[in-house]
Structure 1
Amino acid sequence: MSETPQAPWQSVDPTGLFALLTNDLVGITRGRFFPLPLRERAVLKGCGWVPANLGLTPFDEIAADNPWGCVGDLRLRPDPDTAYRTTRLGEGAFAGMLCDITTLDHQPWYGCGRSFLRAALKDLETEFGLSLFCAFESEFQVTGATWAHAPAFSLQAMRRADDFMRLLVDALADVGVDPEIILPEYGQDQYEVPCAPRDALQAADKAVLFREVTREAARLSGLRATFTPKMTPQGVGNGMHIHFSLKDRNGRFVTFDPQHPAGVSERCGAFVAGIMRHMPALMAFCAPTAISYMRLQAHHWSSAYASFGLHNREAALRICPVAATDPATTARLFNIEFRPPDGTASPYWALGALVRAGIEGLRHGLPTPDLCPGDPDSMDEATRRQMGIRRLPGSLREALDAFMADSIVRGWLDSALVEGIRSAKQCEIDKIQDWTDDESCRRYATIF
C-alpha cells in the first residue's frame, strides 16, 4: 500500500482531533472525529456513515417516512487534496479532510453532494469542453458582542472587531481559503468575506471550510458567528453569493464576448438561460430551509425573482462590473453572480444544481435571457412574463412544490433521494408551522 501523501499536519506535534467531514442538504457540516495520532489510519480506511443521516432536518429530526430507515451502511472517503490544519483555533489542532460519501464497494453514493457536483462538472467538460471557475462570498452576523453600534460600512465597524478578524484571516490563510476582502456590511454586526476564485470543486470545498473556521474564530473571541438567512424578521439577510465564469479546454475564459449584448457570450447566455428556466426548483438546494424565504423578499437586494440583470442587485443572476478596459483582462474578470443561495445551503448541492441547470441551457441552445433593467417587483406582470421573469418560491412549501413539479431537476437525482428531500422538507415544514417569525429567526440562528 502506498504511503499517505504529505499533509499539513505531518511536521508538527500530533495534538487534538482529526476530522472526516461531509456537508449535507441543509448545509450542516457533519462527520467523524479521531485522535490525531490515528490520522493515517483514518485517511487510508475512511469510516462508516449512515444513509439516513442525509434525511436530517436542521433540527436533527428524521422524517418517519424517509426512504432509508434503519437499513444501510456507507463510507466517508477522505480526499487528501482537501487536507487542512491550523493551530490558531485553540490548543489542539483544527485539522482534517473533506470526504466523498461512497457505497461499501467504493462507488459514489447518490446522496453525496460533493460527488453530485463532481459529476455535473465532468458532464459540462465532456459534452461542451467547458469548466467552471467560481468564487463564493458569504455574509454572516456576530452575536455576543459588547461593543457599541457603529455605522454601516464604517472603519469603526471594522476596528471594533479587530481581534476576531485578525484571528479569522490568519486561520483562513492556514487552511488555504484566501479571503480577498473583509468588509463590514449594512446589517447590525454583519460582515461579508469574498474568497479567491478557484476551480469549482475546490471553491465549494473552501466555502465549507470558511464557515467552520469563522464559527471557531468567533467562539474563541467570545462571540458567535451565524450564517442564518435572517437574524430578525425586520433585519437584513445573509446570503452566500456564487460568482462563476466559464473556461474552455485550453483554459481561456469564454464568458465574455464584446460582440454580444452586455458582453455575454453565446455559451454563457445559454448556461444562464438554463438556470433561469429551472430556478424555482433549484431553490430546494439553494434556499433549502424555511428561514430562507424570509430573506428572498422584493426590494431587499436578495433576488426575489428569477431574473437576469446588468449590475442589478435585485436580479437573481447579475453581470458583475469589471474595472478593466483591455479585452484580455475583461475576459478574465467578467463573471456572473448567482444571488439566491444562503448560508443554510450546501455549497456542493447549490453549485451542482446550478451547473446541471446550465448544462440544460447549453443542450437546448437557449438564447440569452433579456436583461432586467431594474427592480422586477416594480414591473407589471405582463412585462415580467414577456421577459421570462418569474417570482421565486415564497416559502419552503412552494419551493418543495416547484422541485417536485420539475421533472428535469428531479431527473438529476436518484428516486430515493427525491423522496428523502420531500420527506425531510415536509418534516421541517410541520415542525415550524406554529412558530412566529421571531421564534423562527431565533431557532435557526442557534443552528446556522
Structure 2
Amino acid sequence: MTKAASAAAKDFAAAGVGGVHLAWADNNGIPRSRIVPVAGLAEAATRGVGATSLFAVFDTHDAITYAHPGLATPSGDIRLVPVVERLRRLAGQPALAWAPVRQVGKDGGPWPYCQRTVLEAQVAEGARRGLEFRAGYELEFAVAAAGSADVVANPGHPGPAYSPHALVRLDGFVASLLHDFAANGLRIGQLHAEYGLAQLELSLAATDPVSAADDQLLARQTIHAAAHTHGLVVSFAPMVGLGVAGNGWHLHTSVRRKGRNLLESDETGKPAEQGYLAGLLRDLPALSAITAPSVPSTLRLRPGYFAGAYAFWGVENREAPLRYVPGSPMLGADHANVELKTSDASANPYLALAVVLAAGMAGLEDAAELPEPIGDDPGSWTAEERETRGVRRLPADPAEQDAALLASPRISGVLGEELLGAFRAVRASDAAWAADRTAEEIVAAHLWRY
C-alpha cells in the first residue's frame, strides 16, 4: 500500500496536485476531512493522520456531546488511514485529490466507531452466506445563487419540474457536473430538474455497497465544487422550505446468490425470494432512525410528497418508502431492485447501507413473508383504513426514532454497543437543540450542513 501511495503522490505532484482530502462522514451524515500535503500521502497511508476521537460525538451543529460514556472526556486520539485504491484527483479542484478513510485506533487496530468498518463487516457477512449486494444512490439537491441564505427566496432555477428549459440558466453547471463526474470516476445514470423548488437529481451507477458509500461522499465533493465554480451553492438538506418538497437520497439495493438476483419477480409480481424486502419492511421504523435521522428528516416525511411517511411497500409506487422496481422486458429481469425513499443526506452512508443489508439478510434468514403491495397513498386513507391494512406512520420525532431503534436488536446491534451509544448521544443533542426552536428555524439551520 505504501508503494501505491508513493506512486500516486509522485503522479499527483507532477500534475500540480498540492494536497489530498482524507474524508469521512460523521454520525450526522456531514462530511469531514483533513488535507495532507501530497508529499505526506505515503506516510499517511502507513501511519495514518491524527484526529480527535470526539468526531464520533459531534452533533449536527458542531457541538460536542459528552453524554456517551465511552467518549466522555476531551482526551483521546485516533488515526485516519486513507483507502489508497479509492484515491482520485478532483477535476473541479485540480490542486487537490481525495480519498476516503478508515478510522482506526492508535495501534492501527479496529476502532468501534468507524462507520466504514461497520459496513465492511456486513458485506463480509453477506459473502459468508453466499450473498452479493449491489447499491446505488439517487441524490436530490436544491440550487441557489452564491451568498444566498435561503433557497426559497432565491431559487437557482425557475422550473418547470423535469423541463429542459429549467436547466438553461444552469447550463455551465450541468456541463461541469457531467465532465467532473466522469473525470472523478463516477458514473451518472441520469440528471434532470426534479419536482422540488430549484431541485436537481442525479443517479449514481450501482456498485458494491462500500464503493457506493464512498461514491456518495465523492459525489457531494464534486457537486459542491462545480457549483462554486459557477457562482452557485447547493443544499442537500432534507428540507429547504416548509411548503416545498424536500431532498431525499434514495437508496437502491439488490442481492444476488450465485449470480442470480433474488429480487427477480415471480408470477405474482412479488420478488421470487420475498425475505430481503420483507426484512426491510419488518425493521423499517428502526431503519429510518439511521437512514433519515435528523430533525428535518422527520419534517420531510409527509404524505403526498413522495417521501415515504408510512410503513408499507409497493410496486413502483413513489409514495411507498419501499418501492419495489421489478425487471422488465426492456431492462431484463436482473434489473430488479428495491428503493428506500426514507433516506436523506443526514444519514451516514456507510451506516445506512450497513443496516439495510443487515435487515435484508435477516429477512432472508427467517424466510420473512411480504404482505400484499399497496398501490395507493395511505395518507389519503382514513385512520381506520390504515389500521385495517396494518399501515402505521413511521417515527415522526426524535423520541419515536430512538424508541424504534432500541426496539430492534437486529438494527441497533449492527452498530455495536459503542457506536450505538455515540449515535444516540448525538441524536439526543440534536433533539435538545431543536426543542425550543420553530420549524422554520430548524430548516434554516440545517440548510448548508451537508
Query: TM-score, with normalisation over the residues of structure 1?
Result: 0.92
Q: Is 2:83 the counterpart of 1:76?
A: no
Root-mean-square deviation (CA), in Å? 2.1
3-state SS of the aligned residue for 2:201? strand
Which string of whole-angstrom CA distances, capped at 9 and with x for unpartnered residues, describes residues 146-175 of structure 1?
766232211111221111111122111111
Q: 2:266 aligns with which of 245, 252, 258?
A: 258
Q: 1:231 to 1:10 in 2, by over 3 A?
A: same
Gaps of 5+ in 1: none
Which string of whole-angstrom CA distances, capped at 9 and with x for unpartnered residues, describes residues 291-313 of structure 1?
11111111111000111101101
> Which residue of structure 1 lines up, in the alignment, with residue 167 of structure 2?
158
> Which residue of structure 2 lines up, in the alignment, with residue 247 of structure 1?
256
Q: 1:144 to 1:16 in 2, by over 3 A?
A: same
Q: 1:321 to 1:413 in 2, by over 3 A?
A: closer
Q: After the TM superposition, which of the residue ranges 180-189 and 35-44 deviates more from structure 2?
A: 35-44
After superposition, residues 430-445 of structure 1 pair within 5 angstroms as 430-445=432-447
Which string of whole-angstrom CA distances, capped at 9 and with x for unpartnered residues, describes residues 222-267 of structure 1?
1101100111111111000011111223x332320434x214121x
Contact kept? 1:172, 1:213, Cα under 8 Å: yes
> Which residue of structure 2 lines up, in the alignment, with residue 173 of structure 1?
182
Distance 1:148 1:357 in 2: 39
> Which residue of structure 1 lines up, in the alignment, with residue 54 of structure 2?
52
After superposition, residues 221-300 of structure 1 pair within 5 angstroms as 221-249=230-258, 251-259=259-267, 261-266=268-273, 269-300=274-305
Q: 1:83 to 1:9 in 2, by over 3 A?
A: farther
Question: In structure 1, what residue type is equivalent to 2:289?
Answer: A
> Which residue of structure 1 lines up, in the alignment, with residue 149 of structure 2?
none
> Which residue of structure 2 lines up, in the alignment, with residue 335 of structure 1?
337
> Which residue of structure 1 lines up, in the alignment, with residue 44 of structure 2?
42
> Which residue of structure 2 lines up, in the alignment, with residue 3 of structure 1?
3
Q: Is 2:140 the counterpart of 1:135?
A: no
Distance 2:377 2:91 in 1: 46
> Which residue of structure 2 lines up, in the alignment, with residue 313 of structure 1?
318
Contact kept? 1:76, 1:99, Cα under 8 Å: yes
> Which residue of structure 1 lines up, in the alignment, with residue 151 of structure 2?
none
3-state SS of the aligned residue for 1:414? helix
3-state SS of the aligned residue for 1:76? strand
Distance 1:321 1:265 in 2: 10
In the TM superposition, residue 383 of structure 1 has moved relative to its aligned partner by 5.0
Contact kept? 2:118, 2:414, Cα under 8 Å: no
Q: 1:40 to 1:159 in 2, by over 3 A?
A: same
In the TM superposition, residue 74 of structure 1 has moved relative to its aligned partner by 1.8
Contact kept? 1:117, 1:351, Cα under 8 Å: yes
Contact kept? 2:80, 2:103, Cα under 8 Å: yes
Q: 1:8 to 1:391 in 2, by over 3 A?
A: farther
Distance 1:207 1:108 in 2: 23
Contact kept? 2:157, 2:170, Cα under 8 Å: no
Question: In structure 1, what residue type is equivalent to 2:245?
Answer: V
3-state SS of the aligned residue for 1:413? helix
Contact kept? 2:358, 2:410, Cα under 8 Å: no
Distance 1:253 1:352 in 2: 19
Q: 2:417 aligns with which of 408, 415, 422?
A: 415
3-state SS of the aligned residue for 1:180? strand
3-state SS of the aligned residue for 1:207? helix
Q: 1:8 to 1:243 in 2, by over 3 A?
A: farther
Question: In structure 2, what residue type is equivalent to 1:34?
Answer: V
In the TM superposition, residue 385 of structure 1 has moved relative to its aligned partner by 4.7
Distance 2:228 2:277 in 1: 39
Contact kept? 1:305, 1:316, Cα under 8 Å: yes
Q: After the TM superposition, which of the residue ranges 172-181 and 223-232 deviates more from structure 2?
A: 172-181
3-state SS of the aligned residue for 1:198? coil
> Which residue of structure 1 lines up, in the alignment, with residue 306 of structure 2?
301
Q: 1:173 to 1:315 in 2, by over 3 A?
A: same
Identity rate of aligned residues, in percent?
30
Q: 1:230 to 1:37 in 2, by over 3 A?
A: same
Task: Report how many residues are paired.
Answer: 438
In the TM superposition, residue 418 of structure 1 has moved relative to its aligned partner by 2.3
3-state SS of the aligned residue for 1:123? helix
Question: In structure 1, what residue type is equivalent to 2:261?
Answer: F
Distance 2:272 2:266 in 1: 8
After superposition, residues 81-96 of structure 1 pair within 5 angstroms as 81-89=85-93, 92-96=94-98
Distance 2:316 2:8 in 1: 42
Contact kept? 1:135, 1:194, Cα under 8 Å: yes
In the TM superposition, residue 382 of structure 1 has moved relative to its aligned partner by 5.4
Distance 1:339 1:120 in 2: 21
3-state SS of the aligned residue for 2:64? coil
3-state SS of the aligned residue for 2:111? coil
Q: 1:379 to 1:150 in 2, by over 3 A?
A: closer
